[in-house]
Amino acid sequence: MTENNNIVFTPERLAKVHEIIERYPEGKQKSALLPVLHIAQEQFAWMSQGVMDYVASLLHIQPVEVYEVASFYTMFHLEPVGKHVIEYCRTGPCVLMGGEEVFGHLQQKLGIKKGETTSDGLFTLKEVECLAACGWGPCFQIREKYYMHLNNQKVDEIIEELSK
């Protein structure tokens, strides 16, 4: 277990975390793990060991119980990421709607491949599986926002907007 004194939730987030922990039946506080990991990623951007140890201490569980969960669920970033993580769908229905071309264009535009981060630290590209928006594809997600019906021009506009 690593000591990391810099990793502390903001007071608002800490209050939210305690509220979440309280909502499960007595003795079942481990249920709060996924919701708390989402809040942790919102604040700390990725799951460093320090962050996971901090979450374990809040839930009174062993650090390994956090590691095994954070590494099982693909939404949690196990490496540092850029300011905007673009998670684009590579699954069949989005491909039928032209996803391969659009996301090929996206990679060209940013000059990076899936799993990479731009040198200015602004964008990380992550390839994900079906986002449950098949009829509105091709689609990607940046944080909580879904971007749908994408084409090359829309991709350019989104990247330019986020680069400002």
Which residues are at the interface with another protein (CB under 8 A)? 23-25, 28, 30-35, 37-38, 59, 61, 65, 68-69, 72-76, 87, 90-93, 95-97, 128-137, 141, 144-146
Amino acid found at 24 = Y
**Which of 77, 109 has the CB closer to another protein?**
77
Shortest reach from residue 119's CB to another protein, in Å: 27
Shortest reach from residue 65's CB to another protein, in Å: 8
Strand order across the beta sheet in which 145-147 lies? 123-128, 84-89, 140-142, 145-147
Amino acid found at 93 = P
Shortest reach from residue 1's CB to another protein, in Å: 19
CA distances for 156 relative to 83, 89, 137, 152, angstroms: 17, 17, 16, 6
Shortest reach from residue 73's CB to another protein, in Å: 3
Q: Could you tell me which of 113, 103, 101, 91 has the C-alpha nearest to residue 147?
A: 103
**Which of 82, 137 has the CB closer to another protein?**
137
